[in-house]
Chain A
Amino acid sequence: MFPGKAIRISLVFLCLFTTSGCWDRQEVDKLAIVTGLGIDLISGPEPYLITAQVVSPASQTNIQESSKPFVTTLAHGKTISEAIHNFSKESPRKMFFAHNNIVVMSEKLARSGIQDFLDFLDRSPQFRRNAWLIVTPRTAKEVLQTQCDIQKYAAIGLKEMIYERYHPFSNKMQRKDTMSRLEGLSSAALALKIDIKNTDRIEQQKLEEAGNPVHNSSQQASQEKDQLQISGFSILNKYKFAGYLNDFETQGLLWFLGQHKGYPIRLPCPTSEQKYVVFLLNQKSKHFKPVMDQEPLQMIVKVSNNATMAENNCSELSLFNAKDKENLEKKLNEAVKQQMMVSLEKVQRSESDVLHFADAFYRKNPAQWKKIRDGYGKKFSETKVTITVKSEIRLSGMTSEGLKR
């Protein structure tokens, strides 16, 4: 390769690179980074209202102290794609959805079916499959317009809240999981439930009612703000909303999924109903044993856990007393079973098999599964479930006997 040839070749490359242009080039300051996406149903010929929570990066540099860390942009359309496309009517920057971790759907939309919406999300290359699907009893627009206290970007704060609250299960109920469950044997899946509460005002009221001396209530009132609140799971059945689970039911449900990690459970003291002993429970194992010989179907569920004492308000109880310990373990078994029964009942009533019993039935006998597959929801709701719990108290916390009473 002598110089003349080298020059010619480098000229070719120079032209190749400079004249072809950079089609996909997108400077980072020309992007509107969407951190949260919401969808509502509205009246009129264009039923879909899309809300995008967009980061305003200028708030980073602190030049304008007063500027909000994020803005919400709205767009509506006859179809979801059209609505998304209509964002460009109002936004000077290109909407960039790849960093979106929160997908909020209003209950109204969820009731009418989310299949179209999920189909859209799944086809577009920009949407992440590890975003969380959320159903809210309010509107998605409201949820996305609510500020979060510590985290500047509310959607990122919401994502972190979900992650912390249900860790490690939170990583197993993202869009990818919800969709594969909806497509799976049971066609039922879980999503999250987010509500907006004015916690400050409610608690303030209660403080006053309890007779605490409260001053400057008017000044306090100015700080009142609506807060986002994770309040359990929502159940999706065949791409449609089928009900909510409250916190207690959610914890009961986690036992069936083998994901009950570190949630507290309380037992009343033997002598006084107003005092409690509290344990933190960590699930060790979960075992399903399906019995499919006759209808109704049967399921034997075995659950075991480790318990750590978190509070002991009962002066008469001591873990160093073998009998006490044995009694407590028995009571724990009963309490856990109770918790599980409550959520089981709720789930069975909605005929949505979010407990993955269907997988166990299928694994036990694939041939027979084909026979029971039709109308499985009904059969699931009639399934007889036997629950056995085995609790073991392992630790008494960082102390042993505790304070003298």
Chain B
Amino acid sequence: MTLFYRKRNKRKLHQTSLVSSTLPSEPNNLGTSLSDNITHLKNKFKNCSEVVFRDITFGTEQQNQAQMIWMDGLVEREQLENEILNSLIQRSDIKLHPESDPKSFLEDMKTRVLKATQVKELLTMSDVVEGILTGDTILVFDQTPIALSISTKGGPVRAISEPQTEAVVRGPRQGFTESLRTNTTLVRRIIKTTDLKTEIFTIGKFTKTAVVVAYIDGIASLDVLEEVRERLSQIEVDTILDSAYIEELIEDHSYTLFPQIAHTERPDKAAAELAEGKVILFVDGSPFVLIVPTTFFRFFQSSEDYYERFPMAFAVRSIRFLFIVIALLLPSVYIAVITYHHEMLPAQLLISIAGSHEGVPFPTLLEALLMEITFEALREAGIRLPKQVGQAVSIVGALVIGEAAVQAGIVSTAMVIVVALTAIASFTIPAFNVGISIRILRFPLMILGAVLGLYGIMLGLLALLVHLCSLRSFGVPYFAPLAPFRWRSMKDLFVRAPIWSMNRASLRKPDEGSQRGAN
């Protein structure tokens, strides 16, 4: 197992948080005195205006005193009133008193009085605090060193909506939301088996973010699972704001352009990955779930490939791979051919290109860099700007800059075509994060092409190939199933065979070939 571990991961995971030393140690166990406990808690939640402390007395002779504590906004108001307040205050048949028999009193509360669905006993002060912070309602009774925590988590959440980044023409239209429970539910609704396990981790000193590791028992690789658990348990950070934090903290290689963990917004995709033996990480507060382990070619497969009949899926996937190659190579090959290999072009084409180059003051490389960087800036500006303005900026950028630059003779028309085609091609990649990697890689390749011609591009591609083959994602070779080669997985790599022809095994464990060997 330690083979999985590279030294730099350890270093990264052991970044200690700033607050760990400043927090005072808890006096932990609850006392028997209600007022002591409450004072302590009030002290703890000093200046926290949302916390509500409410006195209640109940019982046949109003003999029982208790304090209800919750965080306003984090709890479901209606539930709080119906399940707790009403059941305590209007009841007069509670005869027991905690002082005489705390055990049976609490048992009575839990089984008979409180109408809530989830009731837990809490023994320590820190558990109480955490319960309040996560949206539970806490009942602290007089003369009892045990508090009751009633799950009333609620408050405003975003409704389930269509995934923004992974829209499909055909297929389920629901996407994950920021709420962890909603997300796990969405997957549970698809996979109805007790083998779907969901282990929970809490990460982050401040955020105490819940991370759920989901997998199908018996299909998921135990090694990967163990590795995920170990890496998660070693994380020590203050805040986890999105699954991206987790991704960066547990990925195998930091110094690479390629993401080694995929993410998705689609429950159907998550379910499909689970069924193939992957491990899914839900992170509270993030609509993106993480998929581990991930191989390079996963990023180029869209869920729509499986929602269209296979000839269409095959055709679309082929076009996608073609355009990925264009997105990566077109500008660099154009530069190389135009500056070194003029004989490779048909005569008429060379004359046309030479004609469009006539009077352009810059070398081809500079011209290409200018245009490509301008395009990247336009793309970035398009994301940042408000939707309505963004459209206008794109039009201004594309039409005005492009047209004017050509008119002024600063760039050639051929270059505008190349840049535009590259831009379109780069958006055929279904995964945005790999799209960025490929867009960045274009630039070194362009320089190599300008310095060494096609030979340089070939060198660059070889280096890239070596790099890709050296990467691993949770012990699984990143370039699988091409390297190491696995014939059975070819049915769903560049082509997509009909679903009936892909047997269960190849559907399930496309990368298993080396998974075992890695240990």
Tell me the A residues contacting B by CB distance below 8 Å: 1-3, 6, 17-18, 20, 22, 24-29, 31, 33, 35, 55, 57-61, 96, 98-99, 101, 126, 153, 156
Stretch at the interface among B121-129, B184-192, B343-351: B343-351
Which chain B residue has the least Cβ–Cβ distance from A55?
B351
Report A-chain residues with C-beta under 8 Å of the C-beta of B355: 57-61
Kindly state the separation between the CA atoms of A98 and B360 in the bound complex, as whole angstroms: 23
- Is A156 a contact partner of B347 (Cβ separation < 8 A)? yes
| Nearest CB in chain B: distance from A376 CB, A | 39
- Is A29 a contact partner of B342 (Cβ separation < 8 A)? no
Report A-chain residues with C-beta under 8 Å of the C-beta of B357: 27-29, 57
What's the tally of chain B residues with a CB closer than 8 Å to chain A?
28
| Residue in contact with A17 in the complex, picked from B352, B353, B447, CB distance below 8 Å | B447
Which chain A residue has the least Cβ–Cβ distance from B338?
A28
B330, CB-defined interface residue at 8 Å: no
- Is B448 a contact partner of A17 (Cβ separation < 8 A)? yes
B340, CB-defined interface residue at 8 Å: yes
Query: With A6-B255, A29-B357, A31-B342 in contact, is A24–B453 under 8 Å at CB?
Result: yes
Which chain A residue has the least Cβ–Cβ distance from B253?
A1
Which chain A residue has the least Cβ–Cβ distance from B349?
A99
16 A-B pairs within 8 Å (CB atoms) are namely A1-B255, A2-B8, A3-B255, A17-B447, A25-B339, A25-B363, A27-B357, A28-B339, A28-B364, A55-B351, A60-B355, A61-B355, A61-B358, A61-B359, A98-B343, A99-B347
Query: With A2-B8, A29-B358 in contact, is A60–B352 under 8 Å at CB?
Result: yes
| Nearest CB in chain A: distance from B358 CB, A | 5
B450, CB-defined interface residue at 8 Å: yes
B94, CB-defined interface residue at 8 Å: no
Query: With A24-B453, A99-B347 in contact, is A57–B358 under 8 Å at CB?
Result: yes
B451, CB-defined interface residue at 8 Å: yes
B354, CB-defined interface residue at 8 Å: yes
Report A-chain residues with C-beta under 8 Å of the C-beta of B352: 60
- Is B347 a contact partner of A33 (Cβ separation < 8 A)? yes
Report B-chain residues with C-beta under 8 Å of the C-beta of A126: 343
- Is B342 a contact partner of A156 (Cβ separation < 8 A)? no
- Contact indicator per residue, chain B 351-393, by CB within 8 Å of chain A (1) or not (0): 1111111111001100000000000000000000000000000
- Is A22 a contact partner of B339 (Cβ separation < 8 A)? yes
Query: With A2-B8, A35-B347 in contact, is A28–B363 under 8 Å at CB?
Result: no
Tell me the B residues contacting A by CB distance below 8 Å: 8, 255, 338-340, 342-343, 347-348, 350-360, 363-364, 447-448, 450-453
Report A-chain residues with C-beta under 8 Å of the C-beta of B342: 26, 28, 31, 33, 96, 98-99
- Is A28 a contact partner of B340 (Cβ separation < 8 A)? no
| Residue in contact with B350 in the complex, picked from A22, A33, A61, A101, CB distance below 8 Å | A33
- Is B354 a contact partner of A29 (Cβ separation < 8 A)? yes
| Nearest CB in chain A: distance from B188 CB, A | 42
Which chain A residue has the least Cβ–Cβ distance from B348?
A156
Report B-chain residues with C-beta under 8 Å of the C-beta of A22: 339, 450-452
Which chain A residue has the least Cβ–Cβ distance from B364?
A27
Kindly state the separation between the CA atoms of A35 and B346 in the bound complex, as whole angstroms: 12
Which chain A residue has the least Cβ–Cβ distance from B339?
A25
Report A-chain residues with C-beta under 8 Å of the C-beta of B452: 17, 22
Which chain A residue has the least Cβ–Cβ distance from B413?
A61
Which chain B residue has the least Cβ–Cβ distance from A18?
B451
Report A-chain residues with C-beta under 8 Å of the C-beta of B451: 17-18, 20, 22
| Residue in contact with B351 in the complex, picked from A24, A60, A98, CB distance below 8 Å | A60
Report A-chain residues with C-beta under 8 Å of the C-beta of B354: 28-29, 31, 33, 55, 57, 60
Report B-chain residues with C-beta under 8 Å of the C-beta of A58: 355, 358
Report A-chain residues with C-beta under 8 Å of the C-beta of B450: 22, 25
Report B-chain residues with C-beta under 8 Å of the C-beta of A101: 347
Query: With A17-B451, A20-B451 in contact, is A57–B340 under 8 Å at CB?
Result: no
- Is B255 a contact partner of A61 (Cβ separation < 8 A)? no
- Is B360 a contact partner of A29 (Cβ separation < 8 A)? yes
Kindly state the separation between the CA atoms of A88 and B340 in the bound complex, as whole angstroms: 20
| Residue in contact with A99 in the complex, picked from B340, B343, B364, CB distance below 8 Å | B343
Kindly state the separation between the CA atoms of A20 and B455 in the bound complex, as whole angstroms: 15
Report B-chain residues with C-beta under 8 Å of the C-beta of A24: 340, 453
- Is B351 a contact partner of A33 (Cβ separation < 8 A)? yes
Which chain A residue has the least Cβ–Cβ distance from B357?
A29
Report B-chain residues with C-beta under 8 Å of the C-beta of A1: 255
